[in-house]
Structure 1
Amino acid sequence: MSRSRHPEVHRSDRVGWLRAAVLGANDGIVSVAGLVVGIAASGASASTVLATGIAGTVAGAMSMAAGEYVSVQSQADTELADLAVEQRELHEDPHSELEELVAIYHHRGLSVALAREVAVQLTAHDALAAHARDELGITEELRARPLQAALASAGAFISGAALPVLAALLAPHAHVAQITTATTLVGLGVTGAMAARAGGAPPLRGALRVMFWGALAMGAAALIGQLFDTAA
């Protein structure tokens, strides 16, 4: 007899990279598009508009990389400090550490006897790993990786910023602001829908959400650019 299969698709394992990718790409699109639209609205030359977009891309990517690295490195430092504490406590008072595991497993629904058996076997296998996972919530898959986070954020920012930069490069100078705005809104709609779909949310809602904030940002940038009319 054939066995019925019940495949389960979970999306919680995507949270880490999905957050970083969406944040980086959307930040790249909106930030650089805002710069391009604002400078174009001021009446600046085509070369100035393009230089502004490229400079904004480089500065934004470096800023994203530095911010993500510092943030994730702080998390990594905290994890290492907590693991050092656990290592010391396992050396100085292994009995109390074992009882901590027993209490954790019993609280999760195991009988005391079974909780103790599980705790004893996991401690014998790798005591520090058991405490890291079940007491501290630190797993190898979800551990902080600062360099990886920095590179991913910078790459996502550059990929998003490429859209308004290309629009500024290829559009007729007289219509740079309008074409960049329209192109950016389309790009935001696509990335928003893809991110929502990957996370299991309605794509249309995700698209409209990021398009709204993108339009608001570019509208504000255009108003500020018009205050500094360089063509006058």
Structure 2
Amino acid sequence: MVHPTIFERVKTSLAASAGDIVFGMEDGTVSIFGLVLGVAATTNDNMTVLVAGASGACAAAVSMMAGTYLEIETEVDEARTFSARLASEIAQRPDAVVARIGDRLRAAGLAETQTALVTDLIRSKPGVLQGVAYAMTAPATPETMQSPLAHALWMLIADFVSAAIPIVPFALMPVSEARWVSTAITMLLLICLGVGRARVGRRPLARTVMETVSIGVAAALAGVGIGLVIAHALGG
């Protein structure tokens, strides 16, 4: 038996977590972009912006990681519970399971005669019955899912790396210049994320890119708006 290499395992894990990565990058970019612009709108002190941005990025990334871990762990538990419950029902009431399969086949448009052939076959073969019933009614099984930890780690990495992008300019240049540079590179990243979302979700490209960029702009406006309101209230 040939065991996959580390590179192959990482590649497989990356592909399985593509949705988490795109979502994590969008969340990290949008939330921290709004945060740093909101702070930068009220101060010219780089350290203030960096501390706020870095603290927010770390907190958001860990929060998203924990949420992803709990979500996937719950899905795995649900799949295991369903598998055990289905096996018990097949052992005790196989005719009820066959009837449900027949109903689903009819609902999918299969003719009555064809449905009868399928249900007769699976009724006579318990092994086939369990496989068909599980394939037609079960959620994703633990065997076909990446571990909760793998999904959570990819989410952590994606969220933190993308969150760092709007912050970096404030570590390299004065706040007055960093505002514009941060905005420019964040918009570019959001465009790339929009393309990624379109590919992962098989959605219209232009619409998805526009939607992603619009969310980023809305976050920036919200951050700047609340920052100016609070600064004005405290200062006046």
Give, as a single letter, the amino acid of the residue that structure 2 aligns with 1:211. V
2:167 corresponds to which letter in structure 1? Answer: V
1:113 aligns to what?
117
Structure with the higher fraction of residues in helix conformation: 2
2:139, 2:231 → 1: CA distance? 55
Are 1:134 and 2:132 an aligned pair? Answer: no
TM-score (norm 2): 0.76
Task: Give 2:207's aligned residue.
Answer: 205
The one of 182, 185, 188 aligned to 1:186: 188
Measured in 1, the distance between the counterparts of 2:145 and 2:133 equals: 14
CA–CA distance in structure 2, aligned partners of residues 131 and 161 of structure 1: 44
Residue 51 of structure 2: aligned partner: 51
Q: Mapping of 1:41-190 within 5 angstroms?
A: 41-43=41-43, 45-101=45-101, 104-105=104-105, 108=108, 109=110, 110-118=114-122, 120-121=124-125, 123-124=126-127, 128-139=130-141, 143=145, 145-190=147-192
1:79 counterpart letter in structure 2: A
In structure 2, how many angstroms separate the alpha carbons of the residues matched to 1:94 and 1:198? 39
| Deviation at residue 210 of structure 1 after TM alignment | 1.1
Taking the TM superposition and a 5 Å limit, the aligned residue runs for 1:7-46 are: 17-43=17-43, 45-46=45-46
- 5+ residue gaps in structure 1? 1-14
User: What is the SS of the residue equivalent to 1:201?
Assistant: coil
1:174 is displaced (CA, Å) by 2.3
The letter for the 1-side match of 2:87 is Q
In 2: Cα distance, 1:174 partner to 1:144 partner = 44
Deviations 1:130-161 (A, max 9, x none): 33222334446755843233222222212311
In structure 1, the residue matched to 2:7 is: none
Q: Which amino acid aligns with 1:60?
A: A
Contact 1:83/1:132 (8 A) holds in 2: yes
- Counterparts of 1:216 and 1:182 in 2: how far apart (Å)? 15
SS of the aligned residue for 1:42 comes to: coil
Q: Could you say what the CA RMSD is over the residues aligned between the two structures, in angstroms?
A: 2.9
Measure how far apart 1:103 and its partner are: 5.1
Structure 1: how far apart are the matches of 2:115 and 2:30?
54
The two structures have a TM-score, normalised by structure 1, of 0.77
1:10 corresponds in structure 2 to none
Question: Taking structure 1 as reference, are residues 223 and 94 closer, same or farther at Cα in structure 2, changes over 3 Å only?
Answer: closer
Asked if the contact 2:79–2:139 (Cα under 8 Å) also holds between the matched residues in 1, the reply is no
Report percent identity of matched pairs. Answer: 26
**How far is 1:175 from its partner?**
2.3
CA distance, structure 1, for counterparts of residue 206 and residue 91 of structure 2: 55
